[in-house]
Amino acid sequence: MIQFNYQTPVRIRHIRLLKSFLQDIIRSEKYTPGPLSFVFCTDDFLLQINQQYLNHHDYTDIITFNLSEEKGTVSGEMYISIDRIKDNAQRFK
């Protein structure tokens, strides 16, 4: 199951198509899709996670946690900073 969670507002188009695409990619790599959670958040929210779990004190665009318990299954949490994504998009045009 793929979930999209929002700590900050963001618009994602074609969610069903995106979920299907992600599952197809996982299967094409010979893995089984497990629970995946994408959390869209602010810089400050992601900075707290970065400090708490990784002891890093810098902003980042994404942090991932592998929660796979069974071999051959992909499960995890992805925290994505919308602030950082927008900033990086402008900076790396």
Q: How many domains does the chain have?
A: 1
Instruction: Supply the CATH number for residue 50's domain.
Output: 3.40.390.30
pLDDT tens for residues 29-54?
999 999 999 999 999 999 999 999 99
* Nearest residue to 34 (alpha-carbon basis) of 79, 1, 65: 1
- Residue segments in the chain with a per-residue pLDDT below the cut of 70: none
pTM: 0.91
The whole domain housing 29 covers: 2-91
* Nearest residue to 59 (alpha-carbon basis) of 77, 45, 41, 47: 47
Query: What does R_g of the chain's alpha carbons equal in angstroms?
Result: 14
End-to-end CA distance of the chain: 33
